[in-house]
Every structure is written in C-alpha cells, then in structure tokens.
Amino acid sequence: DVKVTQSSRYLVKRTGEKVFLECVQDMDHENMFWYRQDPGLGLRLIYFSYDVKMKEKGDIPEGYSVSREKKERFSLILESASTNQTSMYLCASRPTGRGYTFGSGTRLTVV
C-alpha cells in the first residue's frame, strides 16, 4: 500500500514563526498536494506539484509557499504564522490518472 507520511500529528507555534510541514510518499508518485481542512469549509487546496521543482497555486495560496526538491518530499512553509492559519493540514499524493492517498494530517495551532 502507498504510504504518505506527515512528520508531525500536532504542532503548536507562535505568531510570526516560520513553520515547516513535511510530507513524504513512498510510491514515486508524480503529483503531490497540500490541503487545509476547517469546519464548515471542507478541504481547500493550498498548493500542488506535478513534478520535482514544479509547483502550482491552489485556491488559497496566500501566506504559504512550498518546496519540492525531491520527488518523494513536498514541504509546506508558513512564512510568518498567523492565528488564522490554525487548521488541520493534509498532504496527499497520486499517480497520474488515479485517486489520492492522504497522510494522517497535522493539526497546527498558532498562538
């Protein structure tokens, strides 16, 4: 089975900190995605990548950046964390033409 691993289940950070969320997949998938999930808003796409060093903005990229230096790793960066970025962050990967496999999520709290 494909495994998508997110480095932390829970994180607490202070306002203004630079935050890195890491995601690693073990199946050589081309496409990787970062979503955030909030009550009443569902899953919203932040950024995605369809190849190494390639990235595309999703629906809500403001305040975020990403890095994909290796095929298996896709990092989400909060340049200066704010309280409105408190959320559940979900990473996913997929081969072209197939469904997503999600990681278990990182619940980030910004205080």
Q: Which residues contact other proteins (rule: CB under 8 A)?
A: 4, 31, 33, 35, 40-43, 45, 48, 50, 56, 58, 90, 92, 94, 96-105, 107
Q: What φ, ψ does residue 37 adopt, rounded to 5°?
A: -125, 125
Query: CB-wise, 27 or 41, nearer to other proteins?
Result: 41
Compute the least distance from the CB of residue 30 to other proteins, in Å.
8
Q: What φ, ψ does residue 83 adopt, rounded to 5°?
A: -60, -30
User: How far is it, in rounded angstroms, from Cα 37 to Cα 105?
Assistant: 10
Query: CB-wise, 33 or 64, nearer to other proteins?
Result: 33
User: How far is it, in rounded angstroms, from Cα 53 to Cα 63?
Assistant: 19
Query: CB-wise, 42 or 69, nearer to other proteins?
Result: 42
Compute the least distance from the CB of residue 84 to other proteins, in Å.
19
Closest to 68 (Cα-Cα) out of 85, 82, 48, 46:
48
Query: CB-wise, 13 or 55, nearer to other proteins?
Result: 55
Closest to 92 (Cα-Cα) out of 106, 109, 78:
106
Compute the least distance from the CB of residue 75 to other proteins, in Å.
17
